[in-house]
Amino acid sequence: MAHVCEICGKGTISGNIVPRKGLAKKNKGVGQHIGVTKKRVFRPNLVNVKTTIDGTTRTYTVCTRCLRSGFIEKTV
């Protein structure tokens, strides 16, 4: 199963790891040198939650932001 929230559709996003060497100019250095960038993956914080919707209990894969915002409520 993919890393996708079933409520808002938030999923994985690709990005870069950017290594930096040297002291920044604003900190009295000569400037930073950016090395070779590598790919990485940002994954959402997903939780499996049991909830009751329209009288049926089902397990949803939900991001914690949707859970905290109240789009879905946990059942005990």
Q: 25-74: per-residue pLDDT in tens?
A: 999 999 999 999 999 999 999 999 999 988 899 999 999 999 999 999 88
Q: What is the pLDDT of residues 29-41, one digit of tens each?
A: 999 999 999 999 9
> What residues does 17 pair with on adjacent strands?
38
pTM (global) more than 0.75: no
Start-to-end Cα distance in the chain: 24
Output the six-digit token pair for 32.
């930073």
- 12 contact partners, CB below 8 Å, separation of at least 6: 2, 3, 4, 41, 42, 43, 44
Q: How confident is the model at residue 1 (pLDDT cuts 50, 70, 90)?
A: low
Question: How far is it, in rounded angstroms, from Cα 74 to Cα 46?
Answer: 14
Per-residue pLDDT, 40: 97
